[in-house]
Amino acid sequence: MASNRRLPGVLRQFAEERDWQQFHTPKNLAMALAGEVGELLAELQWLTPEQAAAVMDEPEAGARVRAEIGDVMIYLTRLADVLGIDLEEAARAKLAEVAVRYPVEQAKGSAAKR
Amino acid sequence: MASNRRLPGVLRQFAEERDWQQFHTPKNLAMALAGEVGELLAELQWLTPEQAAAVMDEPEAGARVRAEIGDVMIYLTRLADVLGIDLEEAARAKLAEVAVRYPVEQAKGSAAKR
Amino acid sequence: MASNRRLPGVLRQFAEERDWQQFHTPKNLAMALAGEVGELLAELQWLTPEQAAAVMDEPEAGARVRAEIGDVMIYLTRLADVLGIDLEEAARAKLAEVAVRYPVEQAKGSAAKR
Amino acid sequence: MASNRRLPGVLRQFAEERDWQQFHTPKNLAMALAGEVGELLAELQWLTPEQAAAVMDEPEAGARVRAEIGDVMIYLTRLADVLGIDLEEAARAKLAEVAVRYPVEQAKGSAAKR
């Protein structure tokens, strides 16, 4: 797992070595992604907003949150790779659309979207 | 949105320009992440495994899937940034753990985990 | 849709009349359930805790939340029916387990579980 | 937990006895609901459609699916109760809307919606 290789390729090889490509269909990976997001939510759900903002200062809870974020990123990267989508490009393309819909002056401080 | 700037910084500036940091708490962003994953699932839920595998060949459905993946990546990146987590590092650290738990020889072809 | 018939049977007939049973597999319905929960989260995600507590006093937002809760219940009922599970019994059985794990005296006021 | 009492009241008392109402805000319960749906998805994600259709015939996997469905129902019921929504009524009201949008003749066999 040399860190100079890009993550999608690293994960693809990881799956191939274990014969897991058969399980890594778009629907299955989307379900796994949702499952990991659910585990991430579970780490935050009973915290107050203040506790959640400081969760990374708690060694044990912080490590769990980091691990769950890692899991979410693993499945999101894997799903995008299986679909032939570049994650960063998809995010930047979507952001460009959002920028048009929510120009700075009109969007300022409104939660209408995000 | 110069493409040579890293995505977390681009998204941070995007939120700051619109005064959206007040909404971007860990709990809110985790909920938004789950919401976008839900929209992604909705694109795939009624497809057969075969249709889902070929979804990117359909111009309209493929564009929607790509946009939803972009949205998921936007909120995941934003959540990680607010928590001070490097997404790629978190994924690689988690993968290293999984590699220990599922050595190639034992994991081969088994769906026990993934 | 006479209200004296039980909901699982009403939904089963609704699906059968439209030839939708072919789509209503456990995996598809679980994805649809997660998709609807995502839409429900989207209604609440940017609200403050105080705003969320009062969301049903807002006619439009309240109607949207009610409709999303209805959608979640529809797919949960449908999924349980397809799997041959009685929703209420499953909830009561699970609650009995939780009651053993979290006796009143020890659980009081702790967020350890819920 | 007498079974002749309605589930929302049973769950409300369960929470009150443990002083858990303070955690049971709409946002927290919606997150918990999504978390439990994630666990349910995790039970089904790597199964083939055929395996998933027969999951209740497997004693261990079937018991886990039933328990997860119970958890989802618990949080959905609790969330609806906190918001003052009757679950069954909300589902029936939504179904009536869907029936108008997808009349039997036009919807037959199409996955356009569900």
ipTM confidence score:
0.94
- In whole angstroms, what is the distance from residue A48 CA to residue A34 CA? 23
In the numeric block, the tokens 């209200």 are attached to C3
The reply to whether B49 touches chain D by the CB within 8 Å rule is yes
Question: What pLDDT score does A3 carry?
Answer: 59
Eight-state DSSP code of residue D5 = S
In this structure, what are the phi and psi dihedrals at residue C7, rounded to the nearest 5 degrees? -60, -45
Mutate to test the interface with D, among B28, B46, B58 (most CBs of D within 10 A): B46
Q: Is the pLDDT of residue C114 over 60?
A: no
CB of D25 less than 8 A from some CB of A: no
Structure tokens at D100: 């108008």
For residue D1, what pLDDT band results from cuts at 50, 70 and 90?
very low
- Contacts with D77 from chain C: Cβ below 8 Å: 91
* Among D37, A67, D82, residue whose Cα is nearest residue C38: D37
Q: What is the pLDDT of residues A7-18, one digit of tens each?
A: 999 999 999 999
pLDDT in the model for residue A113: 57
Does D49 contact chain B (CB < 8 Å)? yes
Q: How many CB atoms neighbour CB B113 within 10 A?
A: 12
The DSSP output letter for A46 is T
CB A30 within 8 A of CB A9: no
pLDDT tens digits along B52-89: 999 999 999 999 999 999 999 999 999 999 999 999 99
Chain C touched by A46 (CB under 8 Å): yes
Nearest-angstrom CA–CA distance, D86 and D76: 11
Rounded-to-10 torsion of CA B33, C81, A27, D74 = 20
Residue B75 pLDDT: 98
Q: How many CB atoms lie within 10 A of CB B69?
A: 27
Nearest beta carbon to residue A87 from set B23, B30, B69: B69
| Least Cα separation, residue A32 to chain D (angstroms) | 6
Dump the DSSP string for C86-98. -HHHHHHHHHHHH
Tell me if residue A58 falls in helix, strand or coil.
Answer: coil
B109: alpha, beta or left? (left if phi > 0; alpha if psi -120 to 50):
left
Question: Could you tell me if B114 lies within 8 Å of chain D, comparing CB atoms?
Answer: yes
Q: Is C76 exposed, middle or buried (0-12, 13-18, 19+ CB in 10 A)?
A: buried
The shortest C-alpha distance from B16 to chain D (Å) reads 24
Neighboring chain A residues of B97 at a CB cutoff of 8 Å = 67
Which pLDDT band, with edges at 50, 70 and 90, does A97 fall under?
very high
Nearest Cβ partner for A70 among B44, B93, B99: B93
Q: Which of C79, C81, C82, C5 is nearest to C36 (CA)?
A: C79
Q: Yes or no: say if A104 and B19 are a contact pair by the CB < 8 Å rule.
A: no
What is the structure's pLDDT at C1?
A: 46
Chain B hits for A71, CB-CB cut-off 8 Å, are 94
- Average pLDDT of chain A is 93
How far apart CA A53 and CA C44 sit, in angstroms, is 18
Phi-psi region of B71 (alpha: psi -120 to 50; beta: other; left: phi over 0): alpha
Identify whether the C-beta of residue A31 lies closer than 8 Å to the C-beta of residue D45: yes
3-state per-residue secondary structure call for chain B? CCCCCCHHHHHHHHHHHCCCCCCCCHHHHHHHHHHHHHHHHHHHCCCCHHHHHCHHHCHHHHHHHHHHHHHHHHHHHHHHHHHCCCHHHHHHHHHHHHHHHCCHHHHCCCCCCC
Output DSSP code: residue A57.
G
For residue D33, give the H/E element and its range. Answer: helix D26-44
pLDDT at B4: 75
Q: Which residues contact A81 (CB under 8 A, 6 or more apart)?
A: A8, A11, A12
Supply the pLDDT for residue A1: 46
Task: Please give the pLDDT value at position A111.
Answer: 64
Nearest to A107 among B18, B33, B41 (CB): B18
- Does C31 sit within 8 Å of A30, measured CB to CB? yes
DSSP assignment of C51-93: HHHTGGGSHHHHHHHHHHHHHHHHHHHHHHHHHT--HHHHHHH
Map out the domains of chain A with their CATH numbers. Answer: 7-86 (1.10.287.1080)
Q: Which chains does D contact via 3+ CB–CB distances below 8 A?
A: A, B, C
Of the partner residues D23, D31, D46, the one whose CB lies closest to the CB of residue A41: D31
Averaged pLDDT score across all residues of chain C: 93
Note which residues in 5-24 of chain D have CB less than 8 A from chain A. Answer: 23
Cβ pair D37, B34 in contact under 8 A? no
Contact list in A for residue C46 (CB cut-off 8 A) is 111, 114
A14:B71 CB<8 A: no
Place B95 in a pLDDT band, splitting at 50, 70 and 90.
very high
Q: How far is C3 from C16, CA to CA, in rounded Å?
A: 18
Kindly report, residue by residue over A81-95, the tens digit of the pLDDT: 999 999 999 999 999
Name chain C's partners: 3 or more CB pairs within 8 A.
Answer: A, B, D
* pTM listed for this prediction: 0.94
Mean pLDDT of D64-85: 98
Q: Does D37 touch chain A (CB under 8 A)?
A: yes
**Nearest CB to D111; choose among B34, B46, B114:** B46
Here the tokens at position D66 are 């039933």
